[in-house]
Structure 1
């Protein structure tokens, strides 16, 4: 049985109660909040393994709450929204969410995504020693970009760069394989450990967000290069 605790944040009681039932049937513990402010208060005193976060809520909406959470917390976040436009999905992902699901959704699909995110997050935090042995390098440098896989820190010179776990995984994958071109499909399946869906633009959104954090000029990136029609790479 699972022992992880999931925080459900949605202003619709029916959705909170529905997800509560499905998650508890899978063995998860749950906490529930009706808005972003309540969620932040819960996180002060409770450790959770994943947050399901609705976008449209009173007091503090999901976008603002996600940004506040990401200031100090790397817990996986799955966003829910009644909006299906790409820009809404991009907004959710760029503020730090790890996944995005549009309402109405199949609760079983959400459960599958919850399990996937928790597996990835657990693997990220528990398998550093195995990764270090496999790569035989704990620090990778690309010019003045320094990636420390022991401490999970990224710096440009002396400036520390804050990345989400997913952003760190993508940057680490490219940096550890300097000169190798990774397609969007390669990156997605390497980082998410899930089969890639052709219509999914999640990787591109994350690449754009990483560039915004590490590049002086995102139109002429110094570190992550685009190989048009093929994918992305970090040059040797």
Structure 2
């Protein structure tokens, strides 16, 4: 399973292309982005506060386990992106993802259940058959 590289284009186009090429040929070392930067993600009725490690549906707190919280946070932070179970496992569990598919499936099921029980009117995590999952929601 490959790694995920997120490249921002703050640099010039030439520098960005050099970085992409060096990543593809394996010359560049990856810098791990740490979860825990203190972001608050807000969607229509859903608020995810990374600093507090809390999820709210219309200001009502919903309790999540560590893996539930960070799976939801990871997907919401990359809203609209499709991630395989292996990619989610690698990003959240920080381990090789080839044997983490069932753990991710179980956690996604728990997230969906807790959001429904908390009163969410929208299904925020969509299954993309044969590909994985994506978060769907408009930031607001």
Q: TM-score range by the shorter chain?
A: 0.5 to 0.7
Counting matched residue pairs gives 101
- Higher strand proportion, which one? 1
Give 1:191's match in structure 2, choosing from 64, 73, 92.
Answer: 92
Higher relative contact order (CA 8 A, sep 6+): 2
Contact 2:40/2:50, CA 8 A, preserved across alignment: yes
- Higher helix proportion, which one? 1
Corresponding residue SS for 2:97: coil
Quote how far apart the aligned CAs of 1:172 are: 0.3
Aligned to 1:168: 69
Contact 2:86/2:100, CA 8 A, preserved across alignment: no
Corresponding residue SS for 2:107: helix
- When the two structures are superposed, what TM-score results if normalisation uses the length of structure 1? 0.40
- When the two structures are superposed, what TM-score results if normalisation uses the length of structure 2? 0.65
Aligned to 1:144: 45
Aligned to 1:207: 108
Aligned to 2:56: 155
CA 1:200/1:168 → structure 2, altered by over 3 Å: closer, same or farther?
same
Misfit runs of 4+, over 6 Å: none
Contact 2:79/2:135, CA 8 A, preserved across alignment: yes
CA 1:227/1:221 → structure 2, altered by over 3 Å: closer, same or farther?
farther
Contact 1:188/1:194, CA 8 A, preserved across alignment: yes
Over residues 9-60 of structure 1, what are the superposed CA-to-partner deviations in whole Å (9 max), with x where a residue is unaligned? xxxxxxxxxxxxxxxxxxxxxxxxxxxxxxxxxxxxxxxxxxxxxxxxxxxx
Q: Which has the larger radius of gyration?
A: 1
The gaps in structure 2 that reach 5 residues or longer are 1-33
Quote how far apart the aligned CAs of 1:200 are: 4.3
Over residues 101-152 of structure 1, what are the superposed CA-to-partner deviations in whole Å (9 max), with x where a residue is unaligned? xxxxxxxxxxxxxxxxxxxxxxx8xx73xx24xxxxx210122010011211
Distance in 2 between residues matched to 1:156 and 1:195, nearest whole Å: 32
Aligned to 1:224: 125
Contact 2:85/2:105, CA 8 A, preserved across alignment: yes
Distance in 2 between residues matched to 1:210 and 1:192, nearest whole Å: 16
Over residues 184-228 of structure 1, what are the superposed CA-to-partner deviations in whole Å (9 max), with x where a residue is unaligned? 000001111111234741110010011100036xxx961111111
